[in-house]
Amino acid sequence: MKPCLHITVIGRVQGVYFRVYTQKQAIKLNLSGYVRNLPGGEVEIVVRGEAAALQKLVDWCHKGPILAKVSEVVVREWRLDEAFEGFEIR
């Protein structure tokens, strides 16, 4: 099974289309998983795919869409047996 990451993006990342642009990036990179807003104002991404594509998404998360102000990106390897079909916004 391909590697899976859990990414938490902190800063001004809600209300700036972060989830929509994350989905576009993930689809472009042929990644699967989901993105969602968290109650504390962060964005959570659980994503699976090839290591190089995962790194490209992580790099993108440090900037995000133009209206975002990312202050921190926390990346952890994730052990998840869920098989994703596509990349969805939750």
Residue 90 lies in a domain: no
* Domain residue limits at 27: 4-82
Q: Report the chain's mean pLDDT, rounded to a whole number.
A: 95
Give the distance between the most distant pair of CA atoms in the chain. Answer: 35
Residue 45 in any domain: the answer is yes
Please state, in angstroms and rounded to a whole number, the distance separating the CA atoms of residues 67 and 65.
6
| CATH code for the domain of 17 | 3.30.70.100
Average pLDDT over residues 8-28: 97
Residue 84 banded pLDDT, cuts 50, 70, 90: confident
For tokens 């689809």, the residue is 27
Residue 14 lies in a domain: yes
- Predicted confidence at residue 82, as pLDDT, reads 72
Confidence of residue 83 (pLDDT cuts 50, 70, 90): confident
Domain assignment present for 60:
yes
As for how many domains the chain has, the answer is: 1
Instruction: Just list the catalytic residues.
Output: 19, 37
88 in a domain, yes or no?
no
